[in-house]
Amino acid sequence: MFTGIIEETGSVRGISKSGDGYLLEIVSELVLEGTKIGDSISINGACQTVTRMGKGSFSVFVSKITHSVTTLGAFNAGKKVNLERAVQPSGRLGGHIVQGHVDGIGRIAGLKKDNSGIEAFVAVEGNLNKYLVEKGSVAIDGISLTVVSLTEKGAGIYLIPETVKSTTASEWKSGDTVNIETDILAKYVERMLLFGRDRENKGKDIKSMLMDEGFLS
């Protein structure tokens, strides 16, 4: 489990094919502290298991499933990445509940920089867009961010100077692909509504069930 508060940015030292997946080596400093083989580290929002520890680096195995739903398999040597160790129960939840289970890939469709930060629009696939709400949370490349605005094509977000300074967002360009993880709470709500206690709800869509319960008119 993660918070979406990036601890440091690292860089890709190398990526090589390994069976049906890839071996990815990441140069880092802070996230190596207290980390051992088998621990979890979020790399651009994707939860990965440490398989090797080196001097100033760690390695993970990127499975073919992870490759198919994230940007990790397309990394090149030198690419800058966001890193976060799994949260400790005694720590502060400074962002929101982030599992590191990437739901899909989005695209930076617009950027506007000002003296205070970056205003960005992220195009998101329709099946993910339904989980986004204004003032709700979303993890983009592992960064916990607040949704400022919504359209049918995606979400508008704003990154404050501290976030820009501490993450890879400072290097985003229009057209870049990013990993998207929507709020797990929204997915649980949808699941419970779709498979409620009453058999009569079977087959109904969310809107119909909300209308039946008086939440919508």
pLDDT (tens place) for every residue of the chain, 217 residues total: 899 999 999 999 999 988 889 999 999 999 999 999 999 999 999 999 999 999 999 999 999 999 999 999 889 999 999 999 999 877 777 888 899 999 999 999 999 988 888 999 999 987 899 999 999 999 999 999 999 999 999 999 999 999 999 999 999 999 999 999 999 988 888 887 776 655 555 556 666 766 776 666 6
**Which pLDDT does position 210 carry in this prediction?**
67
- 95: in domain: no
**Do 66 and 46 contact (CB within 8 A), yes or no?**
yes
Kindly tell me the burial class for residue 169, based on how many C-beta atoms sit within 10 Å of its own C-beta (0-12, 13-18, 19 or more). buried
Residues 131 and 189 in one domain: no
Residues 177 and 200 in one domain: no
Range of the domain at 191: 183-217
- 155: in domain: yes
Residues 20 and 76 in one domain: yes
Residues 177 and 189 in one domain: no
Compute CA distances 35 → 51, 58, 156, 170, whole Å: 11, 9, 35, 27
- 92: in domain: no
- 105: in domain: no
Residues 118 and 134 in one domain: yes
- 94: in domain: no
**Which pLDDT does position 126 carry in this prediction?**
77
d(CA 21, CA 73): 8
Instruction: State the pTM of this model.
Output: 0.85
- 102: in domain: no
SS (H, E, C) 126-138: HHHHCCCCCCCEE
**Which pLDDT does position 129 carry in this prediction?**
92
Q: What is the CATH number of the domain that holds 141?
A: 2.40.30.20
d(CA 128, CA 117): 26
Residues 72 and 118 in one domain: no
**Which pLDDT does position 89 carry in this prediction?**
79
Residues 28 and 70 in one domain: yes
- 100: in domain: no
Q: How many CA atoms lie within 13 A of 39 on its CB side?
A: 20
**Which pLDDT does position 216 carry in this prediction?**
66
- 51: in domain: yes
Residues 206 and 169 in one domain: no
* 188 three-state secondary structure: helix
Could you tell me which of 167, 178, 175 has the C-alpha nearest to residue 70? 178
Residues recorded for the chain: 217
Quickly count: other Cβ atoms within 10 Å of residue 134's Cβ.
11
Our count of domains for the chain comes to 3
Q: Which two tokens stand for residue 205?
A: 């869509």
**Which pLDDT does position 92 carry in this prediction?**
75
Residues 57 and 72 in one domain: yes
Residues 16 and 76 in one domain: yes
Residues 139 and 162 in one domain: yes
Residues 201 and 163 in one domain: no
162-200 pLDDT, tens digit per residue, is 999 999 999 999 999 999 999 998 888 888 777 665 555
**In the beta sheet, which residues pair with residue 119?**
112, 158
